[in-house]
Amino acid sequence: MSGLVDAVMAQIGDNEVGAIAQRFGLSPGQAQSAIEQTLPLMVGAMARNTATPDGANALHTALGDHVGTDLGGLLGGLLGGGGNSGGGGLGSLGSLAEAVLGGMGSSPSPAPRGGSMDSGALGGVGGAILGHIFGNRRGQAEQGLGQTTGLGGVNAGQLMAMLAPIVMSVLARMNQKQDLGPGGLSDMLGRETQRTREAGGLGGGLLGAVLDRDGDGDVDLSDLLNVGGSVLAATRR
């Protein structure tokens, strides 16, 4: 059974990778590698949150209430707008973010119904989702991902915000199709994160640096980067 990262990557094709590459001034290979670094970090944050029954129940409820979010519209938004979202549009996405927030922090502006959403709006909703799943570790996540990808913290945060609604939409579909339940969600996310940790390298090191420490201190991945280099330095496609 494929995990969440694989399921999201299966939805992000060459057009989406190309749009991200253009947005951040990357080659397609660099953009692909940056996405592959970003997704396990987000999954790890969700796994940490769902390690408690309350956290697992909260995520399961949010996903179950909003399984109709239009993934095609989200992917169209990642490309900069264009494309007819069809179906119920993206109206449920704002509600999804609000439900995931659980009343913590400010709610994002609602998405337009019956239409597509541009990448700026995606980032707004995505930022709200990131604020919940990372909490006070969001700054660490942006800084650490900025180091491992070479994007810098600001661009890394923007990339996470663009991808967050897509991750949530794919997870909602998986949750519905596999009838995971709160415990199943927790187990699936936990297993996937454990595999990332065991694989080591930049991905496992980033998870440890961001998720296994308290507070808002700087993330230092210099030793790992000296060995493996950042995504941008190592990827030449």
| Confidence at residue 82, expressed as pLDDT on a 0 to 100 scale | 35
Distance CA 108, CA 97 (A): 7
Residue ranges per structural domain of the chain = 4-234
Say whether pLDDT at 129 is over 70.
yes
Q: What is the pTM of this model?
A: 0.76
Q: What is the pLDDT of residues 136-146, one digit of tens each?
A: 888 888 988 88
For residue 94, the model assigns a pLDDT of 47
pLDDT of 28 higher than 70: yes
Task: Compare 50 and 79 and report the one with higher pLDDT.
Answer: 50
Write out pLDDT tens, residues 169-224.
889 889 989 998 999 999 999 999 999 888 877 677 777 777 766 655 565 555 55
With contact defined as beta carbons under 8 Å apart, do 89 and 115 qualify? yes
Compare 73 and 103 and report the one with higher pLDDT: 73
